[in-house]
Structure 1
């Protein structure tokens, strides 16, 4: 069955949007109608869609506050629609932290909201020190040092597992 699917996202450096576009491509290939919205541009109703997906990146250990507020304000609508949520963060670069059950940011996220998505996923993001403002670069380097990640200021690594992203999209399609 072809569905009308809405995807809402918040991104800091663009990787969450890139992931959303891959999900969108897979869903369109499967015959669905897909609309993509930034958290800053969403002006529709969740009920306009058969399925609704929310994706958010992490910065300094937290998901975008606008995404959290959106979920709190629209919990009833989300519960009445087939829904999904995915988190994008660098901690997920480690296989033992790459699932909703093992990712500390995802676990903390679920503890702060009164909503459990029907389908959820965690994807590793992209590390690109050159792209970050000075203060962000220093903070991310500190976090990476603490988590035994790369700290060289020239480091640019895309950790996203694109096969995992496509599998998530197929799961959404079949849901």
Structure 2
């Protein structure tokens, strides 16, 4: 019997989608019995949420906030989310620092779950990436300033920086797989 899994993401530059795709690869590598659908939560969803046994939502932080469509989706679907097996992960550059890389240590995750009534079975926090060459002048300047305030002194704005700990993503993917098959 196929177990249907829904993977939803909200991303600014694409790192959340990249992480979600890595988790999806892990699912299919573990079991051909698992089928999944992957959608951007910020677009109209052509599906019925009731059709899925397990739902994973991933969202990124930009300038200290999750994107509004992510929060709205969670608030509009709280009852359904709480009736299913669910998981959540946050992607933010601050998670590159030990202590801020857990759901308990992430101010953003703590604030989100104080604001919404959803309680996922599994939560994760992953460090994101910076894509300076893609940014306009304002974003490049602001992000570089924020990074300097956080202790990063020599960011070359001609380079990309990935802080994602892929071993941590793999561990989360294993835990999510166990949730899917439970």
Instruction: Bin the TM-score by the shorter chain.
Output: over 0.9
Shift of 1:149: 2.4
Distance in 2, matches of 1:90 and 1:2, equals 36
What do the CA deviations read for 1:27-76 (whole angstroms, capped 9, x no partner)?
11122111100111422222211100000111110011101000000001
Matched, 1:94 2:100: no
What's the CA shift for 1:18? Answer: 0.4
Of residues 168, 171, 179 in structure 2, which corresponds to 1:167?
171
1:11 corresponds to: 11
* TM-score normalised to structure 1 length: 0.94
Cα deviation, residue 125, structure 1: 0.4
SS in 2 for 1:95: coil
- Which stretches of structure 1, 4 residues or more, deviate above 2 A after TM superposition? 149-152
Q: Work out the number of aligned pairs and report it.
A: 175
Q: Which runs of 5+ in 2 are unaligned?
A: none
Q: 2:126·2:165 contact (CA, 8 Å) conserved in 1?
A: yes
Could you tell me which runs of 5 or more consecutive residues in structure 1 were left unpaired when the two chains were aligned.
none
Residue 44 of structure 1 pairs with residue 47 of structure 2: yes
Give the deviation of 1:3 after TM superposition: 2.3
Instruction: State the TM-score, normalized to the length of structure 2.
Output: 0.91
Partner of residue 21, structure 1: 21
